[in-house]
Structure 1
């Protein structure tokens, strides 16, 4: 690492030093102690809450007291929505004497549902038996309950992610698939199209990779039918069909007379329809959410459900939970100023319930590697000052955004917990085949690299490896790949491709790594991975190109292919060692995650990486025309002359930035690299707008 440290500033680059710093206004200090007088009919309930340390502010009290009719509760980040949901359930039970069986509370995670049940049971006037009678479930668990009780469910639930991945890998081998798309991406793609009413057969088929992916997912759906399995999306689809039974629907509407929905901004079409049908008659529907935190459109979440709720339910009462108890006023103020530039949102301004603290600090490193150096230096300073690594989150917009920081954390032996992606960038499913070509160019007999080279030849990895290993036992070759040239199962053009690939491997060995990777992409890999520009543009293709571009950025710092291969292998080994150490000693580690995964969480200290144009906002939101899959998901069949889709995409990026900022409680560091994939980029417009 360099000895010098990038200068930190109180304002992003380009903002004059005399510009005032954003700061949220202090919130009123009044709570139920002063707001609910002892002579109020429900005073006993609030006094009992206070004895438990639950001091509600004015808008929270208003939401808890709500009785009949639709209620839209706009719960800003860190404003106590879970407390309000559970307290209202307790109020209905103990003050309004509502039968617990008439209450349905729907949320998105099993953990959240269990926590709410537990909190309800601890409320004044609510017995454990009464709390158990309240139906508090996830959308899927509730749908499953209905299917088992009133439907004709004969299938088993196939919801374990590891088992799903294992089946997909087995089916890959069965059909000779050469797809490099990771199982989790495949399943997310399938889920997205099913939630919009489509099927696996409706997936794009413009490139070999897309056709391969479509065939694999179609076979996966067939396998589920053969083995009498349904997944979580099937549960929602089946529930939608079940609720079309008018007699059953009337009975359920009578049963669940008070419905509360958490995280309403994240509902997809099927979830929204489920709630809409159940609440259609009595309209006693309370939805809690934050339109400023709608960041899951790729999972089917539609912001219009929360924006248009008052139109769908005339007479809706709107209450804004606008006092944030999480972040310092200076951190919250940045978020408030930032999100105010979105047009598609309910008007609200958060106030600070926390005391003043440190303002966000901005750095402007040259590139991602210098950014990583800078953050690690600061982490070490914080450690020396007594900061626990478990208090720190490093947030990034994209998967490829972890490459440099994960490398530096590994090299410095700083433990970290990574959520969702391959721990080492070079082991990413998309990157591994490219690295395997480099590995094989350095060592032609490196057997662990052969599968990554066989796949892009459009040959089944498993069958190809089986043939190579069987022939190796008979006669070992300097280039084991050559055994495929003599494999009778291949056609003549495939055999020639094998021979050409061996010549190609010899050629790239002497190149600089950056040029070798560019040549691999140009000659065959971009086409194989659907990263070329053939066919319609899609988000999937954009993500692939971005990840491969990041690999090129990483390659620029190595002088030889052998040097890059050695570094990648060392990183993988160090990560394995770190994982073993963390299993044995269970030390705290830095949390390394995308902003999407951080939603709903909070940390004393947050580092936001890549707050530059083209990263956040992502370049996909800065294009002139929306990708075809985005258009299809929004019901567009042609051009978008008014640019509505791109405006919506940019506003979602701004919401992502807002979510990132509002994860921080005490310290927030924002980094805006000068260079990104070889181009000079300014700091994120979102930061600059916040100072206007």
Structure 2
């Protein structure tokens, strides 16, 4: 018998022993040696074998070690954030690649093991090492058994024989692959090319309106129906439940498997633990976490648990070191010591929280190699939606599940990464092949949704970003060319609501259905003025804004101040209780016994004069003085009174501090005050403002056609014929709390591209957003800087001037004075870290030191505004820093504390 050992039409490789010559058919093939050195450092061998397997390029694999050494899947210990998103399992991949598509020529006769395994399935099949093909069925039909990457192959290219793929054999089926068929769905050319992708991983770059969901679901249909791949080996992964349900609906009846990312993780966890654990809700999570937090004095106007919840997400989904997170945030003292006990507590109680589903699933896959291999056998091909929104933990989960071949069909748009606060990063699309070797790219270029000017405007805006995949974005050939499709309106500060109503009312008067109109803002609070303005104009709205917004800390205090301004002679005790703590004046709790009746401003001043404690008396006197200022403001407009409360009384700065304590991307208390100021223009007379506002918030909703009011983050994936983007104003968009200016630009791009026919962008002319000029391309390209702080703020020019101080932005080179100051700060940090027995970055990160050097804070209040300095670090290091800066600047004595 002569064995037909050759690469053949499937590009097979061959395994030989040490020093063994390769069979003649591989005489000229490159040789990859797997020896002790390769086991110690497998990267080079794995890269060479993966490239050869993926491209069907024959190689000779010389096995100089016992393959049993790397047969069993590795067990990996360590927390996911210690291992990182770049974690590779090279020995797992080495085992797969050595045997995936290779003849075993180490014995007397070469063996094609996939034919042997196929014959074990029965059905009268038998290996045919002498040819033709690899396997003969009972009826004599000759077949190849392919171990290469799965792809459609025509019999004409297979020496006239049929083909069974290794994955079918693994699934226990002798399923003969059908002849390749073209994609027949009604698709554009670029979409069809992506759906028909032949083999291996692929990055589908899908700009807004290019039909990414259609491409993904048609790809799923093509694999299961046209190519007849096993449903048990193909999984579509959706980012959330809504996207999952849409995919399920679009692929009904074809046996497709669709799961969310968390659903995938949860199912793996169920397999690892024998049953799926209960998922704790936020209330239980807060209670469990609060019991573990370091006991310290609770500061007014803060949520002590929220920063720890955000920090946990940074660690578990962002895969960041807990000590680094604690150092960089500055508002979570003791956090690094809390992470382990909290996760242990979840495990002891047999529950998981939302993020822990992903973290625990990753750990289970790493620690249990056999579980990992079983999971991978059911996920040979992953189709991943919204790849740009995946966090590092999600990417690691996908890589572990899809390994070793890493066959991932990832659909997404790096220009729509707007969840950076949750760990999403455009690099996973930009550098796709780093995580999915050999990944091809299919670019969708046509926006099928929007009018041509909308597409052009959005693309122009994106041109100011640097971290992105270079791409062509064009409108469909028959897209509308209406010059009025995009309007950019810079209105007066007090005319934003009027401008909005004029646009929406004008559209409705033209006959546009209210359901075809959306008003979008960067943050939820800024929907308040659009909601009230449209209700007052008798426009029906579909809105999530309600009276509960007025019960939030900042809004509640601001309204209490307004009621005092309206009637300073009869202050309600409840209002007084609100305002004496906001901003915090350091008054003791027992002071409330003096504020239990209706009082005038003079009565409050009298309380201060009657107190025995001089420090408390001074604070009450300051409160009375602030109330006098508020009372004087009552003679003006509602807007002017709110501006006095925000700027002169300091409520704005107090709420900015609360915002900093809660992280950068949640609901902002300062935005709530901004929203009240915007709505104040609709009711300029102070008297009755509160009651009017609550009535207006209670109306306007209807079960019938209505204008949609929403934040941009809630509508990604949706579209309307007409869209208004309100609040494109410095400090709001880009938002003052946002760290990544490029992401803020992407937020505006997402908002603009929700429009099919027309979009109007509204912004305050007195605080112009830099993005307004970028929409038209008139703005100059600024120096490269992605990370940013110190954006223009909505709390008045005087405070902006103090806050900015004309200093350079972070990321720019330090000037001579700042550089000297930075060196002194680094020397201090080195000494302090040694004294405290902690790494230097735990004291302050380099970025924080550079910010300190640039800003040269002169007071505790200035210091608190520096990114990376929270209450704990302020208390621990504040005096040292202020003294060091004052000494370096030649300022005599200690700086005054104006906190």
**TM-score, length-scaled by structure 1:** 0.71
Contact in 1 for aligned 2:317/2:394 (Cα 8 Å): no
Match of 1:655 in 2: 746
The 1:414/1:271 distance shift into structure 2, 3 A limit, reads: same
Spell out the pairing of 1:352-431 with structure 2 (5 A cutoff).
Answer: 352-353=475-476, 355-357=478-480, 358-359=482-483, 360-399=485-524, 401-419=526-544, 427-431=551-555
Cα deviation digits, residues 548-581 of structure 1 (max 9, x gap): 566567668987xxx4362233112221234xxx
Counterparts of 2:262 and 2:721, CA distance in 1 = 33
Counterparts of 1:608 and 1:666, CA distance in 2 = 14
Spell out the pairing of 1:447-486 with structure 2 (5 A cutoff).
Answer: 449=575, 452-453=578-579, 455-456=581-582, 478=599
Deviation at 1:364, TM superposition (A): 3.1
Paired residue secondary structure (1:73): strand
Does residue 1:314 correspond to 2:428, yes or no? no
The 1:619/1:276 distance shift into structure 2, 3 A limit, reads: same
Paired residue secondary structure (2:461): helix
The 1:144/1:595 distance shift into structure 2, 3 A limit, reads: same
Match of 1:284 in 2: 407
Does residue 1:105 correspond to 2:236, yes or no? yes
Match of 2:142 in 1: none
Paired residue secondary structure (2:454): helix
The 1:652/1:477 distance shift into structure 2, 3 A limit, reads: closer
Spell out the pairing of 1:65-144 with structure 2 (5 A cutoff).
Answer: 65-122=196-253, 126=254, 130-131=255-256, 134=257, 136-144=258-266
Paired residue secondary structure (1:346): coil
Deviation at 1:224, TM superposition (A): 7.9
Cα deviation digits, residues 447-486 of structure 1 (max 9, x gap): 664563365386999x999x879x96xxx5547998xx99
Deviation at 1:267, TM superposition (A): 0.7
Spell out the pairing of 1:592-603 with structure 2 (5 A cutoff).
Answer: 592-603=709-720
Match of 1:330 in 2: 453
Contact in 2 for aligned 1:295/1:656 (Cα 8 Å): yes
Name whichever of 262-271 and 239-248 sits farther off.
Answer: 239-248
Counterparts of 1:223 and 1:279, CA distance in 2 = 28
The 1:605/1:212 distance shift into structure 2, 3 A limit, reads: farther
* Structure 1 unmatched ranges of 5 or more: 1-38, 48-53, 622-629, 631-648
Counterparts of 1:281 and 1:233, CA distance in 2 = 25
Contact in 2 for aligned 1:406/1:423 (Cα 8 Å): no
Say which structure is richer in helix. 1
Considering Cα pairs closer than 8 Å and 6+ residues apart, tell me whether 1 or 2 has the greater RCO: 1
Counterparts of 1:316 and 1:406, CA distance in 2 = 47
Name whichever of 266-275 and 661-670 sits farther off.
Answer: 661-670
Deviation at 1:114, TM superposition (A): 2.1
Counterparts of 2:442 and 2:361, CA distance in 1 = 31
Counterparts of 2:561 and 2:308, CA distance in 1 = 24
Contact in 1 for aligned 2:566/2:686 (Cα 8 Å): no
Counterparts of 2:741 and 2:421, CA distance in 1 = 14
Deviation at 1:438, TM superposition (A): 3.0
Deviation at 1:378, TM superposition (A): 2.8
The 1:265/1:224 distance shift into structure 2, 3 A limit, reads: same
Contact in 2 for aligned 1:71/1:286 (Cα 8 Å): yes
The 1:139/1:323 distance shift into structure 2, 3 A limit, reads: same
Counterparts of 1:367 and 1:191, CA distance in 2 = 40
The 1:681/1:430 distance shift into structure 2, 3 A limit, reads: same
Cα deviation digits, residues 624-656 of structure 1 (max 9, x gap): xxxxxx5xxxxxxxxxxxxxxxxxx33323322
The 1:235/1:495 distance shift into structure 2, 3 A limit, reads: farther
Counterparts of 2:241 and 2:443, CA distance in 1 = 26
Paired residue secondary structure (2:374): helix
Does residue 1:263 correspond to 2:395, yes or no? no
Paired residue secondary structure (1:577): coil
The 1:354/1:327 distance shift into structure 2, 3 A limit, reads: farther
Contact in 2 for aligned 1:325/1:352 (Cα 8 Å): yes
Match of 1:32 in 2: none
Match of 1:624 in 2: none
Name whichever of 95-104 and 511-520 sits farther off.
Answer: 511-520
Paired residue secondary structure (1:592): strand
Deviation at 1:232, TM superposition (A): 1.1
Structure possessing the higher radius of gyration over alpha carbons: 2
Counterparts of 2:779 and 2:649, CA distance in 1 = 47
Contact in 1 for aligned 2:519/2:707 (Cα 8 Å): yes
Q: In the comparison of the two structures, how many residue pairs are matched?
A: 587
Deviation at 1:306, TM superposition (A): 1.0
Contact in 2 for aligned 1:338/1:686 (Cα 8 Å): yes
Match of 2:146 in 1: none
Cα deviation digits, residues 274-327 of structure 1 (max 9, x gap): 011222311211111011111211221011111111233332110012222211
Contact in 2 for aligned 1:362/1:670 (Cα 8 Å): yes
- RMSD of the alignment, in Å? 4.9
Contact in 2 for aligned 1:617/1:684 (Cα 8 Å): no
Does residue 1:147 correspond to 2:272, yes or no? no
The 1:194/1:453 distance shift into structure 2, 3 A limit, reads: farther
